[in-house]
Amino acid sequence: MKILADSLNKEKAILLQEIIKNSYLKTIDDKIHINLKKNEIYIINNNYKVPSIISINHNKILGKKNNSIFLKLFPKKNSTILDCTAGLARDGYILKSLGFNVTMIEKNPLLILMIRNFIKKNLISNLTLYHGNSYDFLCQTKKIYDYVYIDFMFNKIKTKSLSSKNDEFLKTICNDENNKNMIISKAIKKCKLRVVVKEAKYSKNEFLKPDYDISTKLIKYNIYNGSCK
Ligand SMILES: C[S@@+](CC[C@H](N)C(=O)[O-])C[C@H]1O[C@@H](n2cnc3c(N)ncnc32)[C@H](O)[C@@H]1O
């Protein structure tokens, strides 16, 4: 991974270099460039013939028709949602914009830097972000959430249409999670209404048996009833 920074971001670049050196991010190839320019953070992924640019700029995704699935998954208005897998904060930001009070957890330090920058630049409220492992968070927190949302990286996808440049980038820079079902079990105990776990519809079934599911053409949302009443 290479960091390219302008003079305004020199200190941030040194800190990031240190973080990369001390984490699994050090194994990622030099074709991934992190650009720190003025108040922008964006990634150039040179693993393609035409390099792809990844940044967090979610304003364009609001109001899209397919966001209405979230109102089906989370029917109680203005409720609290714990998003255990923030990623690029796309879903977290849509949920916040639909009026939910969202807390996100992300374990990847580069994504944390990108999301923090997005939140700060756009003066976003009602969107809390913590850096760490959601399993540890769930073990320690005393808080009970109305809903818990989990979107692990898809393993086997038969249809390529689910895989965007953002997903490909996330796969390049993130470790796969190996205690998925332990996270789901803990989440059920910290949740009043539903734990929702996103899965590609045609993937190999790897999660605990859900109470039921809500499906779209390509995605299956596994639903587990929360155990806190
Ligand atoms: C498929 S992405 C989520 C994309 C996200 N829903 C979005 O809208 O941008 C999965 C993310 O979950 C994170 N993740 C996986 N297991 C985690 C864990 N136990 N704790 C915190 N983050 C985790 C990964 O680092 C990755 O960024």
Digit-coded pLDDT (tens) for 37-96:
999 999 999 988 889 999 998 777 666 656 789 999 999 999 999 999 999 999 999 999
Element (H, E) at 54: strand 52-55
Mean pLDDT of the 133-158 span: 90
Q: Which amino acid, residue 17?
A: Q
Q: How many A from CA of 85 to the centre of ligand 1?
A: 3
Q: Residue 158 pLDDT > 80, yes or no?
A: no
Task: Report whether pLDDT(162) > 70.
Answer: no
Is 170 touching ligand 1 by the criterion CB < 6 Å? yes
Tens digit of each residue's pLDDT (9 = 90 or more) over 119-143: 999 999 889 999 999 999 999 999 9
Asked whether the predicted pLDDT for residue 152 surpasses 90, the reply is yes
- The secondary structure element, H or E, covering residue 183 is helix 180-189
Compute the half-sphere exposure of residue 213: CA atoms within 13 Å on the CB side of its CA.
Answer: 18
Residue ranges per structural domain of the chain:
2-55, 66-159+175-225
In this prediction, residue 163 carries a pLDDT of 62
Q: What is the CATH number of domain 66-159+175-225?
A: 3.40.50.150
Q: What tokens were used for 95?
A: 């949920």
Is pTM beyond 0.75 here?
Answer: yes
> Ligand 1 centroid vs 187 CA: distance in angstroms?
15
> Which pLDDT score, from 0 to 100, does residue 89 have?
96
Query: Over the stretch 178-218, which tens digit does the pLDDT of each residue have?
Result: 899 999 999 999 999 999 999 998 888 789 999 999 999 99
- Is the minimum distance from the CB of 134 to ligand 1 under 6 angstroms? yes
Q: Which residues of 49-80 are buried (b: 16+ CB within 10 A; e: fewer)?
A: eeeeebbbebeeeeeeeeeeebeebbeeeebb
- Nearest CA, atom 26, ligand 1: 87
